[in-house]
Amino acid sequence: MQLIKDFINLFFPEVCCICDKALTLNENLICFRCRSELPRTNFTSLYDNELKSRLHGKININFGTAIFYFYKSGISQTLMHKFKYQNRPEIGRMAGQWLGSEMQEKGLVERIDVIIPVPLHKRKERKRGYNQSLIFAKGISEVTQVPVMDKAIKRIEYGESQTKKTREQRWKVAQKAFSVSNPENVKGKKILLVDDVITTGATLEGCGLQLLNSGAAELNIATMAVAK
Ligand SMILES: [Zn+2]
pLDDT per residue as tens digits for the range 35-88: 999 999 999 999 999 999 999 999 999 999 999 999 988 999 999 999 999 999
Distance between Cα 26 and ligand 1 center (Å): 13
pLDDT of res. 176: 76
Distance between Cα 158 and ligand 1 center (Å): 40
Mean local confidence (pLDDT), 117-143:
93
pLDDT of res. 184: 97
In the predicted model, is pLDDT for residue 197 greater than 60? yes
Distance between Cα 23 and ligand 1 center (Å): 8
Q: Quick one: angle between helices 89-105 and 75-85, nearest 10? A: 120
Q: Are 196 and 66 in contact (CB under 8 A)?
A: no
In the predicted model, is pLDDT for residue 108 greater than 90? yes
Distance between Cα 164 and ligand 1 center (Å): 39
pLDDT of res. 160: 55
Distance between Cα 37 and ligand 1 center (Å): 9
Mean pLDDT check: name the lowest of 122-126, 177-181, 214-218.
Answer: 122-126
User: Considering the domain 39-227 in this protein, what is its CATH number?
Assistant: 3.40.50.2020
Name the nearest CA neighbour of 131 among 118, 115, 146, 114. 118
- Alpha carbon distance 207, 225 (integer Å): 18
Distance between Cα 45 and ligand 1 center (Å): 26
Distance between Cα 214 and ligand 1 center (Å): 44
Q: Quick one: angle between helices 132-144 and 89-105, nearest 10? A: 40
Distance between Cα 195 and ligand 1 center (Å): 24
Distance between Cα 104 and ligand 1 center (Å): 27
Distance between Cα 65 and ligand 1 center (Å): 24
In the predicted model, is pLDDT for residue 167 greater than 90? no
In the predicted model, is pLDDT for residue 11 greater than 80? no
pLDDT of res. 169: 74
CB atoms < 10 A from the CB of 178, how many?
20
pLDDT of res. 159: 56
In the predicted model, is pLDDT for residue 149 greater than 60? yes
Q: Are 34 and 75 in contact (CB under 8 A)?
A: yes
Q: What angle do CA 74, 98, 82 make, to 5 degrees?
A: 40
Contacts of 192 (CB under 8 A, 6+ apart): 112, 114, 115, 116, 140, 146, 220, 221, 222
Name the nearest CA neighbour of 51 among 35, 75, 73, 68. 68
Distance between Cα 117 and ligand 1 center (Å): 28
Distance between Cα 78 and ligand 1 center (Å): 11
Average pLDDT, the chain: 91
Mean pLDDT check: name the lowest of 9-23, 50-64, 197-211.
Answer: 9-23
Mean local confidence (pLDDT), 109-118:
96
pLDDT of res. 51: 95
Of the pLDDT bands very low, low, confident and very high (cuts 50, 70, 90), residue 122 is confident
Q: What are the sequence ranges of the domains in the chain?
A: 39-227
pLDDT of res. 162: 58
Distance between Cα 124 and ligand 1 center (Å): 29
pTM tops 0.85: yes
- Alpha carbon distance 51, 124 (integer Å): 26
